[in-house]
Amino acid sequence: MTEPLLSVRDLHVTFATPFGPVPAVRGLDLDVFPGEALAIVGESGSGKSVTMMAMLGLLPNATVSGSAKFRGTEMVGMQSSALRRIRGRKVSMIFQDPMTSLNPVLTIGRQMSLVMRAHQPGLSKKAALARAAELLDQVAISQPAKQVHSYPHELSGGMRQRVMIAMAISNEPEVLIADEPTTALDVTVQAQIMDLLGDLRREHHLALVLITHDLGVVAGDADRVAVMYAGRVAETGDVSPLFADPGHPYTRGLLECLPRLDARHEVQAAIPGVPASPQSLPPGCPFTPRCRFVVDGCSEAEPVLAPHGDTMIACSVFA
Amino acid sequence: MTDTPILSVRDLVKEFKVHDRGRSTVVHAVSGVSFDVQPGETLALVGESGCGKSTTGRCILRLVEPTSGSVRFRGDDLLGLGRDALRRMRRHMQIVFQDPQASLHPRMTVRRLLAEPLQVHGEPADVVSARVDELLALVQLRPEHLDRYPHQFSGGQRQRIGIARALAISPALLVLDEPVSALDVSIQAEIMRLLIDLRERLGLSYLFIAHDLAVVRQLADRVAVMYLGKIVEVGPADQVYQSPQHPYTQALLSAVPIPDPAVQQQRRRIVLQGELPSAIDPPSGCRFRTRCWRAEQRCADEEPLLITRKGDPAHTVACHFPSLGSAPLEGVPT
Amino acid sequence: MTAVSAPLSVPRRRVRPPWLRGPALVGIVVLTLWALVALTLPLWTPFDPLAPVAARLQEPSWSHLMGTDALGRDVFTRTLWGARISLPVAAIVIMSSVIVGTIVGAAAGFFGGWIDAVLMRLVDITMAFPPILLAMAITASLGPGIRNALIAMVLVWWPIYARLLRAQVIAVRERDFVESAHAIGASRWLILRRYILPMSYTPVLVNATMDFGQVVLLTASLSFIGLGARPPSPEWGAMITEGATNFYQWWIAAAPGLAILLVVMAFNFVGDALRDGLDVKEQGR
């Protein structure tokens, strides 16, 4: 049994707001194994982005507790100087909006070189720039030697996202976290980017954590999936069994309400109500207000992950 | 077709003048688009960013003034109308916007938002009041919502308000500009069902502008695919989805993932090379040729016309080398 | 089909709005006091501001809190009376400038084209002059006196609001909800009145509040150089002029100077808080 690269246990992330503390993540368990593609799926308010960002120390205003280990090293509570050695080097992250993720006043070559030299002190400016051009070629940017001197505003959205990916893999990380990498992009560009990520994964034996709300992308590009709702994992498992036989009512509802390219039917079911807001959660299971299968026990205690067929679900009724 | 189409667009062109570092250039946003919408029909206008679909929608309603071309509503010309005549025509065609938060005046209550279209068109107060109640029921909101402000509602509810407002003066044609893209997936289905239901009940015609082909499949009768300001393929929805003839349509369909690993992992995804060309200087001849795997010299020299190539005369394609095989293409689901 | 569930509960604020905290509170209190004093003057001082009431050039004492000036008038009394000039003048200047500026700025922003070009050149030309010089030139040609100074100040001040409003109108008119008004067939006048102007006034309000203090200073400056209020008017700037001649009797200039300081500071505090408070409201919460 391989050891997980990333191992999260009982993670809690809370934000202090003028309206009181808001629990964005409430007891999350997660594992990421070498070379696999794990998708974290959820709608707005589920806490999917916050989880990874908090783990990497990117949320200074949040209170983070619990455990998140990279290869056995505890990252929660780590000094920022030590975290910086992991972040960008062993665990990289790319974000949703390529328009705002890049520094507009630096050429992309210079930005990439800065990232590399921050983690590889012996690297000269010249070598870093040459390596940057190589990386741009790897991410299928045409005329890489020329593009190294371009500014972000001269590139399209898809190209910018590829530059982000190039930057993220420049220090040969073991895990790449992609937070909604294609949400802001057109679907044909999405195809290009997902294809690229798949190739890079295979070539570099990279683990990919794909945060998304698009179950279509998950079906095609992920090995395992964790479905999040209201700051916790509702269901997790391998992609095929989870889609074929979803156990948790939320997962079931989500899959049923998705329009499919290959089906001419009108979507029959929708999940009533609105996605749970972390600011006002009901007692017990957070899905109760929207669930068809509610019984009395649901409001009493929050269910924990337990096996259900081939997946794990957090549901008192079906587990 | 013996009925007059409810909407008839011919050779619509929209060019934007842009000042870029002291020089004026022209962005060819829409370059000669023609289509009809029949009464009671839903025509979907699909494409990715920069294809000109939203601009087309706005030109039809004259929210943006077209550069040239003609737009007819039930046979009557729209583009030549003066301000008052145009206002009267607005009773018949309305628009639902993409972002429900941005499209409602933040300081108007729901009551005022729904009443305003009626008041603008001179309806008396008692008619307005009754109609507002009717509209609430139509979109399944409740009377206590009337005195609240948009920011007090969820995204799905705001979109319902937007739809009610568009229906207030009983238009026959509704232009829907990405009406569900800004909503969570579980809410999208609700709003789609509402739109389908309203279409039945009120006998509406829809021009449905979207980039999400899976969403469009649920309610489109016909689909028109746009690329860089031009329509590249039009036809009955089933045909376009199952037997796409234009390479761009094929690439677009293959790129849309299906949320079913058993199916999705068997599909072959067509990955387009290159980037979208600039709308300031589009490629000569066929605009798609720079990314097309079938492109030849003829594609650069001669712009392909939108014509029927095979089978149903209603299915037209603008391509010199369309796929005319009867077997569905690999990578494109049935 | 089931009806949609109840709207999201909007969490109630548990903090006091910014205009009731700290400096803003101080500002409001100070301004309220000044307004009260100006309205009920005889309660606060028994003396006549214009007539000599005691020996000349006396130091501050318990009977004359800020001493007496070169003509034997009570400085404290004159300072309080000065509020009756400076505050209303500032109010009139601001309101007139906002009205003129709004009309010009809204027209320029809403109609665009040559209207915009012409109006903005007018604004540019007016703003090219240093305010004091312009005010001086206008007052000098109209003749001295507080009324002419007021006119001059409005002519100097309106372009600021014109520019501000034009920028806001241009930003607001592109927003989706304005497009929605066009779509239903609303007239341009309705759109301007109900959609654009109400959503444009926030920066104007903030600026106007801060500008109150600046106008008070400008009024005082004009009087100081002899172009505004004339003796024996107890306008603060004129009083400072007198204080300059009697330099060693520091209280004569200090009293009006302090008054100006208090008023300008108070307006600045309130303006700051207003900007913070209104910014939050704009977000729609």
- Tell me the residue range of the domain where B76 lies: 7-243
The answer to the question of residue C67 being in a domain is: no
User: Mean pLDDT across the stretch B165-173?
Assistant: 95
User: How much is the pLDDT for C19?
Assistant: 54
Q: What's the mean pLDDT in B135-163?
A: 93
Q: Which residues of chain C have pLDDT under 70?
A: 1-20, 279-285
Is residue A301 predicted with pLDDT exceeding 90? no
Q: From the CB of residue A161, how many other CB atoms can be counted at a distance below 10 Å? A: 30
A19/C13 Cβ within 8 A: yes
Inter-chain residue contact B120 with C187, CB threshold 8 Å: yes
- Are B248 and B233 members of one domain? no
Q: Which of residues 61-120 of A touch B (CB under 8 A)?
A: none
- Quick: pLDDT tens for A281-292: 888 889 988 888
Q: Mark whether B167 and B254 lie in a shared domain.
A: no
Contacts 24+ apart (CB under 8 A), C72-75: C73/C47, C73/C48, C73/C49, C74/C45, C74/C47, C74/C49, C75/C239, C75/C251, C75/C252, C75/C255
Domain final residue pick, B224, B243, B262: B243
Same domain, B57 and B105: yes
Do residue B158 and residue B272 come from a single domain?
Answer: no
Which pLDDT score is estimated for C20?
62
Given pLDDT bands bounded at 50, 70 and 90, which one contains residue B95? very high
- Collect all residues of chain B within an 8 Å Cβ-Cβ radius of residue A271: 186, 189
Residue C81: per-residue pLDDT: 87
- For residues B93 and B122, membership in a common domain is answered with yes
Tell me, yes or no, whether B213 and B98 share the same domain: yes
In a domain, C160, yes or no: yes
Last residue of a domain, one of B243, B261, B290: B243
Q: Is the pLDDT of residue A275 over 70?
A: yes
Residue B158 and residue B40 share a domain? yes
- Shortest Cα distance from A249 to chain C (angstroms)? 18
Q: Is residue B205 part of a domain?
A: yes
Q: Which residues of A254-272 are buried (b: 16+ CB within 10 A; e: fewer)?
A: bbebbbbbbeeeebeebbb
- Mean pLDDT along residues A236-243: 94
In a domain, B1, yes or no: no
Q: What is the pLDDT of residues C137-152, one digit of tens each?
A: 888 888 777 888 888 8
pLDDT at residue number B225? 97
Report residue C127 as tokens. 């703003």
Global pTM reads 0.85
| Interface residues from chain C to B (CB-CB < 8 Å) | 1, 3-4, 7-8, 10, 175-177, 179-187, 190, 194-195, 198-199, 284-285
Is B277 part of any domain? yes
Report the pLDDT averaged over residues A122-140: 91
CB contact under 8 A, C5 and A19: no
Q: Which of B243, B260, B281 is the last residue of a domain?
A: B243
Q: What is the mean pLDDT of residues A136-145?
A: 89
Q: What confidence score (pLDDT) does residue B266 get? A: 87
What is the pLDDT, as a whole number, of residue B149? 93
CA gap A199, A216 in Å, rounded: 19
Residue from B63, B91, B94, B105 to probe the interface with C (highest C Cβ count within 10 Å):
B105
Q: Do C8 and A289 touch (CB under 8 A)?
A: no
Q: How far is CA A232 from CA A239, C143, C180, in A?
A: 18, 77, 40
pLDDT, tens only, B281-295: 999 999 999 999 998
| C66 close to C255: Cβ distance less than 8 angstroms | yes
Which candidate in B152, B174, B186, B191 is best for mutational testing of the C interface (most C CBs within 10 A)?
Answer: B152
Residue B332 clears pLDDT 60, i.e. is over it: no
Backbone angles phi, psi at A143, to 5 degrees: 50, 60
Residue-wise burial string across A101-112, b where 16 or more C-beta atoms lie within 10 A, e elsewhere: ebeeeebbbbbb
The enclosing H or E element of B94 equals strand B93-96
* In a domain? residue B2: no
Nearest CA-CA partner of A46 in A26, A68, A75, A76: A26
Residue C212 to residue C210: CA distance in whole angstroms: 5
Nearest to A273 among C5, C9, C15 (CB): C5
Residue B333 has pLDDT above 70, yes or no: no
Q: How far apart are CA C202 and CA A136, in angstroms?
A: 47
Domain of residue C168, CATH code: 1.10.3720.10
Q: Taking residues B37-46, what's their average pLDDT?
A: 96
Pick the closest to residue B135 from B122, B151, B154, B116 (CA basis): B116
* Domain co-membership, B174 together with B237: yes
How many domains does one find in chain C? 1
Neighbouring-strand partners of residue B44: B208, B223
**pLDDT, position C14:** 43
pLDDT at position C5, please? 36
A265: pLDDT confidence band, cut at 50, 70 and 90? low
Residues B182 and B39 in one domain: yes
Q: Decide if B286 is inside a domain.
A: yes
- The alpha-carbon gap from B236 to the nearest alpha carbon of chain A, in Å, equals 13
Q: Label residue B301 exposed, middle or buried (CB < 10 Å: 0-12, 13-18, 19+).
A: exposed
| A3-28 residue pLDDT tens | 899 999 999 999 988 878 899 999 99
Mean pLDDT of A95-123: 89
Q: Which residue has the higher pLDDT, A311 or C17?
A: A311
Q: Is residue B271 part of a domain?
A: yes
Among A263-277, B150-164, B243-257, the least confident range: A263-277
Q: Which position has the higher pLDDT, A239 or B309?
A: A239
When the pLDDT of each residue in chain B is averaged and rounded to a whole number, the result is 91
Prediction ipTM score: 0.88
Report pLDDT for B278.
Answer: 87
- Contact criterion met (CB below 8 Å) for A71 and A2: no
Into how many domains does chain B fold?
2
- Average of per-residue pLDDT across B58-78: 94
Q: Are residues B208 and B305 in the same domain?
A: no
Residue B66: give its domain's CATH number: 3.40.50.300
B196 within domain boundaries:
yes
